[in-house]
Amino acid sequence: MKKLFSALACASLCINLPAQDGGNQKIDFEKYDPVSTLVVPEHKPLASKFPFIDVHNHQWDMPTKNLSDLIRDMDALNMKVMVNLSGRSGEDIKKSVKNINGSFPKRFIVFANVEFKGVGTAGWTENAVRQLAEDVKNGANGLKVFKNLGFNVMDNNGKRVTVDDARLDAIWKKCGELKIPALIHTADPKSFWDTLDEHNERWLEIVTHPNRKRGPENPVPFELLIEEQHRMFRNNPNTTFIAAHFGWYPNDLARLGRLLDSLPNVVVEFGAVIAELGRQPIMASQFFTKYQDRILFGKDSWVPDEYKTYFRVLETSDEYFPYHKKYHAFWRMYGLGLNDEILKKVYYKNALRIIPNIDKTQFPQ
């Protein structure tokens, strides 16, 4: 009987079940998913403790989308305002704003995007600045810059446009004048540049998403991109920047802290990096205490169920609970147990201060 079971399981799972003494078991890393035997208090918030503003969301079809479905999911999570970073520009902004104003005017904010094609051609910078001003006049409340800047935006001579390219400075300056923030995503996790072997923490992500692999020539080293971004922040002290994904230093909070200390015009959001915070609850809660005015709530990919991990990490003091994507984190989470004052700042107060035209009456004092 035992033999038959073993043969069947092997055929369906392609793993070798143990010999009688458990001696020669082999399981793929991707498949190994042990159920924790740890018994500790558990709290599983389905919604956030306070209403929140998600400053890092992407809705690509906002000009035409029926927003009622989004609102239903947002309400279930206690998300009061969604910031759609994928507003594009021109007619798309106008249509998105019209759609929002005709249905749920208080619940959505749209950021504009710059079209980087043609950098270096005559009048490109002036046009980009003019278009941004027009988009803001038409209802955009921020600028989002995608990671293609730095990776693969080329100028009219086929040269990589650096994040701190002087031809873009007028755009950042305009954001300052218009009093809108610029949320910018530069580079990717450092592990994407590291050797792909058994020591790489993102091995599974790269193996399952091979086009995410980077290298010193693909297109340039991680450190160079980050330096370009920081130089651009320094060159534009009158513009508020939201560094996406904790500036890709969620795994080195002391370093991120030094950056925030040196650049008062920069704040951060933790889209897609909550697993980094959930593995260092002591360091992370110290960081949230010290930089409580500089952190915004962001998530990035719109999978409503996954927000619950964010709430649990931020709000509870739970221990050793699962994360939702093994290729981000094969480790388990610990709650930071943040107090109400800090939670309110991270959930909405900081965003209300930085992003214009959000109706404050929707939030507690």
What is the contact surface with Zn ion in residues (CB under 5 A)? Answer: 300
Nearest approach, Cβ of residue 85 and Zn ion (Å): 6
Write down the least CB distance from residue 306 to Zn ion, Å.
14
Please identify which residue in the block is written with the tokens 């995503």.
185
Residue that is written with structure tokens 């409503």 in the block: 304
Nearest CB to Zn ion, comparing residues 276 and 315? 276
228 or 300, CB closer to Zn ion?
300
Per-residue tokens: 211: 């086009």
- 194 or 300: whose CB is closer to Zn ion? 300
Smaller CB separation from Zn ion, 165 or 300: 300
Q: How far is the CB of 148 from Zn ion (least distance, A)?
A: 12
Closer of 135 and 300 to Zn ion (Cβ):
300
Closest residue by beta carbon to Zn ion: 300
Could you tell me the smallest distance in angstroms from the CB atom of residue 83 to Zn ion? 11
For Zn ion, which is the closer residue by CB, 111 or 363?
Answer: 111
Strand order in the sheet with 79-84: 52-57, 79-84, 108-110
Shortest CB 50 distance to Zn ion, Å = 23
CB 222 within 8 A of CB 214: yes
Which three-class secondary structure string do you get for the chain? CHHHHHHHHHHHHCCECCCCCCCCCECCCCCCCCCCCCCCCCCCCCCCCCCEEEEEECCCCCCCCCCHHHHHHHHHHCEEEEEECCCCCCHHHHHHHHHHHCCCCCCEEECEECCCCCCCCCCHHHHHHHHHHHHHHCCCCCEEECCHHHHCCECCCCCECCCCCHHHHHHHHHHHHHCCCEEECCCCCHHHCCCCCCCCCCHHHHHHCHHHCCECCECCCHHHHHHHHHHHHHHCCCCCEEEHHHHHCCCCHHHHHHHHHHCCCEEEECCCCHHHHCCCHHHHHHHHHHCCCCEECCCECCCHHHHHHHHHHHHCCCCCECCCCCCCCCCCECCCCCCHHHHHHHHHHHHHHHCCCCCHHHCCC
- Nearest residue (CB) to Zn ion, 145 versus 346: 145
- Return the number of the residue (189 or 335) whose C-beta is nearest Zn ion: 189
Q: How far is the CB of 300 from Zn ion (least distance, A)?
A: 4
C-beta of residue 67 within 8 angstroms of C-beta of residue 99: yes
**Burial class of 143 by CB neighbour count within 10 A (0 to 12, 13 to 18, 19+):** buried
Q: Which is nearer to Zn ion, 116 or 124 (CB)?
A: 116
CB 183 → Zn ion: shortest distance, Å?
9
What is the nearest approach in angstroms of Zn ion to the Cβ of residue 58?
6
Closest separation in Å from C-beta 331 to Zn ion: 23
